[in-house]
Structure 1
Amino acid sequence: MSFDRKMRLGAFLMAGGHHIAAWRHPDAHAEAGVDIDHFIALARIAERGTFDMVFVEDAAAIRERNPDMASQAARSTAFEPLSLLAALAVNTSHIGLVATASTTYNEPYSLARAFASLDSLSGGRAGWNLVTSASELEAENFASSGLRPHSERYERAEEFADVALALWDGVEHGAYLPEDATVFANRAKLHVLRHHGKHFAVEGVLESLPSAQGRPIMVQAGASDVGKDLAARTADIVFAASQTLAEAKAYYADVKSRLAKYGRKPDDVKIMPGISPVVGATEAEAKAKYRALQELIPDAVGVALLASYLSIQDLSAYPLDGPLPDMPQTNLIQSRQQLIIDLGRRENLSIRELARHFAGARGHWQVVGTPTQVADAMEERFREGAADGFNVMAPLFPSGLEDFITHVVPELRRRGLFREEYEGRTLRANLGVGAPSKR
């Protein structure tokens, strides 16, 4: 593996912070979820740090059914992601803009059109994080029949992705307003899609031109077999959640090994696990910052969050200081459920301990230490074939992101692991994934 390559970094934005109790911290901005100036400031901080992208997740429903969670976790207010990123696009110039959108509760034409517009108005900086949605609360807003089975959701996602990609590729550069200016559209460069599949029938062509990067970047985070295959076939970036180095290496190797089947090379896909860094001038200071956040977690909130990711209604029937009971396989987020089970067994954690650990970053890798220690941990995974970069999940905004960019980024640069300045103006150019192959 070549080590003249550079890390890729994304800033995963989430209101006041990724820690479930961040909104209760004295430095928190409780109304962050619906404050556009807050998000503009975060995007500009990330751009100052020459991050590849900012990323916004989405769920088309309220986050919590459990009253304890709904009343004590600030996850109930949020902007619709594409609207938010359109605002960020005109307040930044280089950083990529990635939004989550579901293949279960959207239609391919309207979604492809929306992302093409964001890609054009941002100068080629848009990306789509494809999700299939695994929330019963979302299903209740869109489908009276309830949540579709896991396999059916991914079957639909495969077809949805193919249609969206075909729509983006159906308009060539110069299709509208060609150079000779004798006609408005060059019909030879417009390719009408005639798709009739199991889930969708689409006959049309987009009215937008390709952006400077050709088409939006594709992002995926599936960890099941069908999810990893979808990522290997369609994604430019894969987000991942891994607790240990061994888990991260195994996931990385698995996804990369699937690329050849689809005629792709290892560098065509960047794997970026989540990392939640708590940075201090000393190790003691970093640990104190982490403890201050952990002490803000009510047990009821931590346990309710854990139960939601385990895909069960309630854990209250089990002793909090006892072990996690055996769990039936879920139809929801299967990989995250298994990650929690493995973590609890490996570390011999009680339900209370597991809940408090999980509340910090929802199963993503947490690193607490000095800038050197955080950079050491990141460098190990980068060099050991476990990551091409990281999706940085600051526990508290804006201070957690500021700490990382002010103190960890210079250390990564000193080691030659991260860029000094942007390589280009598009997300595709900065990621180094090359021009998309046309379908």
Structure 2
Amino acid sequence: MTKSHMILGMHLGNGYGSQGSAWRAPGVDPANYTSFDAQIRYAQAAERGKFAFLFLPDFPGLQSGLNHEAPQITLEPMMTLAAIARATERIGLVATGSTTFNEPFNLARQFKALDVMSHGRAGWNAVTTSDPAAAANFGQAIAPRPQRYQRAHETIQIAQALWGSWQQNAWIKDQETGRFADPDKIQPINLQGEYVASRGPLPIPPSEQGQPVIFSAGGGENGLELAGRYASGVIAAVFTIEEARNQRQAYRDAARRAGRNPDEIKFFAGVMPAIGKNKRAALDRRVQLGELTAASRVPYLGSMLNLHLDAGQLDEPLTPAQLQAASPSPFDPRSARALQVAREGWTIRDILAHGVIDYHPTPVGDASATADHMQEWFDAGACDGFWVSIDVNEDGIDTFVDEVVPLLQDRGIYHRDYEGSTLRDHLGAPAQYGLDIRLTDPVA
């Protein structure tokens, strides 16, 4: 692959989009929450834009109330990607799978089956789970962080060992001689960790990329170590170029400490574009999406600016006195951007429409505003690419593909076609089958 090209992933959550009220947007079927056909349409649109992968987060439970906003998670990521795999050809398929509430054999089996089904396009975002509500769904309590991450290391290593337990040349399938496979090359792994274990083998031969690719989305020192040892992609949440550059370097350093080439790990910043014919049109789109929720978000915006804000001021800008008293909260990295937008004189409703309390940066305006944001970050070495969260999938993915992608291509920073057929190809990830032989302390 070309080193100067950014890599793009598309976030797919529910059947609507990344804005909780996307289910009410014009042209959206409100029943898309259970529509796998809708997810397939969105995946095919992203593939038309030559996206390297789809990224499906997961949470084993209900995260929020359902009064006005739809859950942000698909019904079940592996089932969704299995449906998408049969209707796409090149785009990678990355799903989140918890190492806390799954056994390594189940994870290894599901992801390698998806990898074989998709001809080498599967990726596993291996994460720990720390939410007590999720734990309650499994009749458990959340273990302390050190135990969760030790279990994560063991689970990933056992899964990778299981992936390699059916050796690459074990499948003979010779109809004339009647030899199906060489049993000497399909062997148990017999790995026992402190928290998980598996005998093996896993009865699934390699895919075109060998085995699934590992992704990571964890933070902190434990998350850095996990990603540094195993991940080829990091799904990040950063709000400034400086923060992104520092995080990307930290992950590269973690990979180096693990004995890997730091170029093996790709860092993906999030972006949540608001695209319209002009800035006002883009804001109006977000204002409409936030119709039922804007008032409830005013107090939080106030806390970000260290002000007391009232929903009665929703359609007014901050007063001169408020602007003079405002300061960014040190506890929320989005606060500086919120204050910057407020000082431009927008109403509070429009400030919120700028996405200042969204999960990722929100460039607002025509397609060039999003392309400029992405190029600035990429050229600054803040990321290797982006995972893109579209506000309303039904029309927003096509808008991104038809308007933003050509700009990136014309600027020479995004490819015009796939350069390979597997997820490893798309990421420039090295071949791997079974455990990484560079690991110095695999589970005993």
Common fold by TM > 0.5: yes
What amino acid is the match of 2:166? Answer: V
Query: Aligned match of 2:398 in 402, 419, 427?
Result: 402
Q: Distance in 1 between matches of 2:60 and 2:3?
A: 41
Asked if the contact 1:361/1:395 (under 8 Å) is kept, the reply is no
Residues 355 and 142 of structure 1: CA distance in aligned 2, closer, same or farther (over 3 Å): farther
Residues 51 and 340 of structure 1: CA distance in aligned 2, closer, same or farther (over 3 Å): farther
Partner of 2:10: 11
Deviations 1:88-112 (A, max 9, x none): 1111111111111111111000110
Q: Distance in 2 between matches of 1:213 and 1:302?
A: 48
Partner of 1:187: 183
Report the secondary structure of 1:31's partner residue.
helix
Query: Aligned match of 1:154 in 144, 149, 154?
Result: 149
Q: Distance in 1 between matches of 2:231 and 2:422?
A: 17
Q: Distance in 1 between matches of 2:258 and 2:197?
A: 25
Partner of 2:440: none
Residues 118 and 340 of structure 1: CA distance in aligned 2, closer, same or farther (over 3 Å): farther
- The structural deviation recorded for 1:249 is 0.9
Report the secondary structure of 1:47's partner residue.
helix
Deviations 1:57-104 (A, max 9, x none): 11111222xxxx322211177321111111111111111111111111
**Aligned sequence identity (%):** 34
Asked if the contact 1:30/1:74 (under 8 Å) is kept, the reply is no
Report the secondary structure of 1:177's partner residue.
strand
Deviations 1:354-410 (A, max 9, x none): 995797774212111222221111011111111101001001112111111010000
Q: Distance in 2 between matches of 1:282 and 1:359?
A: 16
Cα RMSD of the aligned pairs, angstroms, is: 3.0
Asked if the contact 2:270/2:361 (under 8 Å) is kept, the reply is yes
CA radius of gyration, larger in: 2
Partner of 1:270: 266
Partner of 1:343: 334
1:24-103 equivalences in 2 (<5 Å): 24-64=24-64, 69-75=65-71, 78-103=74-99
Once structures 1 and 2 are overlaid, which stretch shifts more, 152-161 or 209-218? 152-161
Partner of 1:196: 192
Partner of 1:294: 290
Once structures 1 and 2 are overlaid, which stretch shifts more, 279-288 or 153-162? 279-288
1:254-333 equivalences in 2 (<5 Å): 254-300=250-296, 321=310
1:396-435 equivalences in 2 (<5 Å): 396-435=392-431
Residues 86 and 427 of structure 1: CA distance in aligned 2, closer, same or farther (over 3 Å): same
Q: Distance in 1 between matches of 2:355 and 2:128?
A: 23
Partner of 2:171: 176
Q: Distance in 2 between matches of 1:85 and 1:306?
A: 40
Q: Distance in 1 between matches of 2:119 and 2:154?
A: 28
Q: Distance in 1 between matches of 2:122 and 2:419?
A: 16
Q: Distance in 2 between matches of 1:71 and 1:357?
A: 21
What amino acid is the match of 2:214? Answer: M
Does 2:212 correspond to 1:213? no
Structure 1: where are the runs of 5+ without partners?
311-317, 323-337
Asked if the contact 2:302/2:309 (under 8 Å) is kept, the reply is no
- The structural deviation recorded for 1:202 is 1.2
Report the secondary structure of 2:75's partner residue.
coil
Partner of 1:313: none
Partner of 2:383: 387
Residues 434 and 28 of structure 1: CA distance in aligned 2, closer, same or farther (over 3 Å): same
What amino acid is the match of 1:344? Answer: S
- The structural deviation recorded for 1:282 is 2.3
Structure 2: where are the runs of 5+ without partners?
312-328, 343-347, 436-444
Q: Distance in 2 between matches of 1:356 and 1:181?
A: 69
Asked if the contact 2:232/2:265 (under 8 Å) is kept, the reply is yes
Q: Distance in 2 between matches of 1:289 and 1:51?
A: 25
Once structures 1 and 2 are overlaid, which stretch shifts more, 50-59 or 38-47? 50-59
